[in-house]
Chains A and B, each alone.
Chain A
């Protein structure tokens, strides 16, 4: 079962406790939800924009709604889930700020993963070649990319600071999908990043 799971999704799955109530936003074919259902007995829900994705999900017996996270998250009540997951999707959102705020409103915490635009090879592409960066997780040409809101690890941290969002956990993945220690140079060295965030508690 783990074979079907993207490496970053497996890392995310390790952050989930047993029997948690999960919403996977942009759940694709439902591989992560299916894995969490079977290994963690999680209560799983999903939102997916593509009909083919929803088809794959319902075939697995998952409850998934065809919808657009830019707009449809507004319909979910506060604190309906223990964890809301947004993996490799934030960069394609029209309103990433609104989406992030919705995630931490709907869930007690949100797990957000994205390709780090501060990665040194991304910088190299632009600096040396003078061209839009491309790699395995950013495979598109400049004209056909759905990724309209790319950010670096540092950009995301600044966003959280400015919006009263607490970073509970921060993880870095290498190009091969292995976990790396986080340090001062993470923004330069991490290929992908995973953030666990929540609303900052008022003191």
Chain B
């Protein structure tokens, strides 16, 4: 029957639409990206081949380095603070009573289903210097000295945006990890309990080691997700004060669409893609190399 259904025509009819859409809108754009990055391009036409000049000149701007510093700060926040916290949340969800578990899961995932735009605007209000939540809390406990304009202060701006990002996705990551925990066979735990292991030992000796695959997935997801950090910055500070809260993608948007230097914008994009490839390669290569068998 396979032969009967698999004529040349039917294969073409079934495979072509999706392959065409995927190729044209997802894969193909990477090629003009490379081509444009080697040209002086204003968005309408190429003004000539310039070789690697775009790359050299974007790397000479200080905004380029500021944006990289900020982007990697966000990556560090979400990997070094976000993931361990999500793991704690996931382990907690696992040992909870069903009612509290249901409540906590629905609540923790809630921010992740809201649009970044909505979440960022809410947090703009929380950081507002005169009537915002954080300053109000600080004043009410007598720490007036610590109040500040969180999003216009160059020292606090990036941390503040990072906290919003952390808050939005920590619950989702926790639930991803929890889903992994559920797939670990129950008898592992029973055996450990018979041997007299406590909750901490069970977590560190059984749950976490057996969770490597899921952890790797969450690690890739959140490190690449925070590399592409952009929309929060657009809403909360528009890159300010000055260029101090720009991220790499923000710098790319700014260069291409605000200053019409499309060649330079695509050069930033190509540099960015290379970094993403290196990061995913490093994670694939060095995290969880042994296959865990149940």
B and A form one assembly: no
List B residues at the A interface (Cβ < 8 Å): none
List A residues at the B interface (Cβ < 8 Å): none
